[in-house]
Structure formats: C-alpha cells, structure tokens
C-alpha cells in the first residue's frame, strides 16, 4: 500500500478534514502507543498502520 492510498482510505472513512486531525491525536496501542501520524513518520509501512486503524475503527473485513 502506498502512502497516497493510505490517506485516501483514511479520508474516505473519517472525512477529508477529520482524518488528519484524528491521525495526529488518536493513540493506538498496536502502533506502540503512537498516533497514526507518528507511526507513519517513524517509517512504519502504511499497510501495517492501516490494519491498526481498520481494527480500531471496527471497519468491515472488505476494507482491510
């Protein structure tokens, strides 16, 4: 997964404005107690970060 696809999915599920706010503030335990933005900036693969987001948001399996 590319970074652009990751952000497109985030915006599709959280809205274009809120996705970035959420990514900056919501801490996810599976990401080592980091926010989505911190994990991405630290070099985590977007696919790994997306799976953590997918789990937290309880999205349908089709969105995995």
- Structural domain for 20, as ranges: 3-63
Whether the Cβ atoms of residue 10 and residue 53 lie closer than 8 Å to each other? yes
Domains contained in the chain, number: 1
Write out pLDDT tens, residues 5-35.
999 999 999 999 999 999 999 999 999 999 9
Residue 34's φ and ψ, nearest 5 degrees, are: -110, 165
Verdict on whether the full-model pTM lies above 0.95: no
pLDDT at 51 over 90: yes
Q: Cβ–Cβ contacts within 10 Å for residue 34, how many?
A: 18
Q: Which helix (H) or strand (E) holds 35?
A: strand 34-35
pLDDT > 90: what percent of the chain? 89
């Amino acid at each position: 997964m590319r970074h652009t696809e990751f952000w497109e999915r985030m915006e599709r599920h959280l809205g274009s404005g809120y996705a970035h706010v959420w990514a900056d503030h919501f801490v996810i335990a599976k990401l080592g107690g980091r926010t989505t933005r911190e994990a991405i900036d630290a070099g985590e693969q977007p696919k790994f970060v997306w799976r953590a987001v997918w789990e937290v948001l309880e999205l349908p399996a089709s969105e995995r």
